[in-house]
Amino acid sequence: MKKVLNYLIAVVLFFGLSSYTNNTTKTNDELEGQISISGAFALYPMTVKWAQEFKKLHPKVKIDISAGGAGKGMTDVLSKMVDIGMVSREIYSIEVKKGAYGIAVTKDAVVPVISASNPLLKELLAKGLKKNAGNDIWVTGKYQTWGQAFGIKSSTPIHIYTRSDACGAAEVWAKYFGKKQEDLNGVGVFGDPGLAQAVKKDPAGIGYNNIGYAYDAKTKKSNPGIIVLPIDLNNNGKIDADENFYSNLDQLINAIATGKYPSPPARDLFLVTNGKPTKQVVVEFIKWILTDGQKFVHESGYINLSKEKIAVELNKLK
């Protein structure tokens, strides 16, 4: 009897493993094709990570990704130059009418940054940036010195930087002040890396970055040469303990996830297709991002969507 039982167990294991192997092989063998993606700098590092992990499962899938700003991503996908556009802002109704089909895949935020070599660094970090002060720096131009903007003794001019390309970061930063990207003053710099570099080199510089470019995803600290400037949320002229969550990336991610950091400048990030996606490899890639791909979100410095939100986004693929 014992021999019969052992035989049956062996048969079950054999066919079970064969079935598993066949299913795995079937997935790897059958899913193939090419996906082209362009758009937001904010979503670029996350999408690269997702592509790397997806290709491990599906080596016959080729994925080409380029960063050029949310505006380029939207233009490219609506003109069918790419399969997917990366967009780091809300999708406009006029874009929806043209066929833009957005699926939220993760979340991040835009943060104000200053040079780590700013001679007023200690005072600025203690006081933080009031929303009205930010408006008078980037929008009205009323504040032109650090002393005027932060209520400290300084006549040093503020060197203001903004983005020259149509991008979600600038749109979201302007939206924080109730404005649009074209309303922002400052020296225009192309791309997130370029803006971070400009501020890094200028001790009197102030700008804004997506958190993926403000922080190092490995060390969780601010990227060398720049410092994230805290926002004075209660407008009392100092950064209180419950407003002080910028010392590392994990603290800020938690503040964004729990709503302590305002939205905007926190925002959802979207993958956009031209109409509801029908190309199998594109559908499978986005579906994987919303399921297994979510486990790479936090380690990459982004914020996971809620289960309820993911269910809504997955339903858009049906």
CB 249 within 8 A of CB 223: no
In 71-185, DSSP assigns E strands to 84-87, 100-115, 159-163
State what percent of residues in the chain have pLDDT above 90.
79
pLDDT in tens, 89-133: 989 999 999 999 999 999 999 999 999 999 999 999 999 999 999
Q: How far apart are CA 246 and CA 183, in angstroms?
A: 27
Token pair, residue 149, equals 């903007």
If you count them, how many residues does the chain have? 318
E strand or H helix at 55, and its extent?
helix 44-57
Segments of 136-186 assigned E as strands: 159-163
Q: pLDDT by residue (tens digit) across 246-288?
A: 999 999 999 998 889 999 999 999 999 999 999 999 999 999 9
